[in-house]
């Protein structure tokens, strides 16, 4: 779609009680080869569904043409904007920058490589409208699917998630899945954020569960990027993950509910 055609796209957005604006946070480090495709895919799907939204891309100290592409996209599409993340760079820092700057009533974190499906986000949005604080994706329930998932990472994923289920006494089986949707109230209630790396994807849902925010689990697809190896290295499933798991477990049993969601009267 060229810039002129992008400008010609007109959509009658619906205003939904509780979620008048849906935000996407997309961390992007040297994603010049794919960020345009990702942004356009989510924009088109959300526009087709009539969902008022903003797509906030966090340029994470890219050294390629990522910022140049984002500048052009933000000029062509009103709902797209970007901000630059100051050093130090990294997935966790970039997502935290996005969570400090999104404007919506709810926010989803999605990957820059289009490993997450835009149509799944629309389903998450509709589910949150039922009144949930959070909607969590699972690739390992009926309706969910992984495509080209490396065998070793699959084994480590299932091991880590089973440990989490046992420690926290929960049924949710894909805590490490980054694809989740949070209300603004939940995001504010999960602060302060500790994680600087991919373990942020575990910190956010575990804090939400421990602190009493309501959540629904929905199936989603995850498609492995084909062009290059994922930035999520196997070592990220190690000490950093288990540190944050332990931290949230200690909060569950020792905080005496000091951080739990306030009950509305």
15 against 193, higher pLDDT:
193
Per the structure block, which two tokens stand in for 163? 């440990």
In the chain, % of residues over pLDDT 70: 88
Give the whole-angstrom CA distance, residue 112 versus residue 265.
40
Class of residue 5 by CB neighbours under 10 A (exposed 0-12, middle 13-18, buried 19+): exposed
Question: What's the pLDDT at 260?
Answer: 85
Confidence of residue 5 (pLDDT cuts 50, 70, 90): very low
Confidence of residue 264 (pLDDT cuts 50, 70, 90): low
Q: Which helix (H) or strand (E) holds 224?
A: none
Question: What's the pLDDT at 9?
Answer: 39
User: Does residue 237 register a pLDDT over 70?
Assistant: no
Q: Which domains does the chain have, with CATH numbers?
A: 10-254 (3.90.550.10)
Give me the chain's average pLDDT, please: 89
User: Does residue 53 register a pLDDT over 90?
Assistant: yes
pLDDT digits (tens, 9 = 90+) for 86-119: 888 899 999 999 999 999 999 999 999 999 999 9
Question: What's the pLDDT at 42?
Answer: 98
* Region of residue 90 (left: phi > 0; alpha: psi -120 to 50; beta: else): left
Hunting for tokens 């992984």 — which residue is that? 146
Mean pLDDT of 51-63: 97
Q: Which one, of 164, 182, 174, 109, lies nearest residue 138 by Cα?
A: 174
| Sign of the alpha-carbon torsion through 158, 163, 166, 170 | negative
């Amino acid at each position: 779609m060229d810039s002129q055609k992008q400008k010609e796209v007109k959509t009658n957005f619906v205003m939904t009680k509780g979620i008048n604006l849906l935000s996407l946070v997309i961390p992007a480090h040297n994603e010049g080869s794919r960020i345009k495709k990702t942004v356009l895919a989510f924009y088109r799907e959300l526009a087709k569904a009539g969902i008022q939204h903003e797509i906030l891309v966090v340029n994470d100290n890219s050294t390629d043409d990522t910022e140049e592409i984002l500048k052009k996209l933000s000029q062509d599409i009103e709902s797209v904007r970007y901000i630059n993340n100051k050093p130090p760079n990294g997935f966790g820092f970039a997502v935290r920058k996005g969570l400090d700057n999104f404007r919506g009533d709810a926010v989803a974190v999605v990957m820059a490589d289009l490993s997450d499906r835009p149509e799944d986000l629309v389903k998450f949005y509709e589910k949150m409208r039922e009144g949930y604080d959070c909607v969590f994706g699972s690739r390992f329930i009926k309706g969910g699917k992984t495509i080209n998932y490396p065998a070793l990472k699959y084994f480590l994923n299932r091991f880590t998630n089973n440990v989490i289920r046992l420690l926290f006494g929960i049924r949710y089986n894909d805590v490490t899945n980054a694809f989740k949707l949070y209300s603004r109230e939940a995001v504010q209630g999960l602060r302060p954020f500790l994680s600087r790396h991919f373990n942020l994807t575990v910190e956010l849902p575990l804090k939400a569960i421990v602190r009493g925010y309501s959540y629904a689990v929905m199936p989603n697809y995850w498609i492995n990027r084909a062009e290059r190896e994922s930035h999520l290295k196997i070592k990220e499933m190690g000490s950093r993950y288990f540190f944050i798991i332990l931290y949230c477990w200690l909060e569950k049993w020792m905080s005496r509910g000091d951080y739990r969601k306030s009950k509305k009267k």
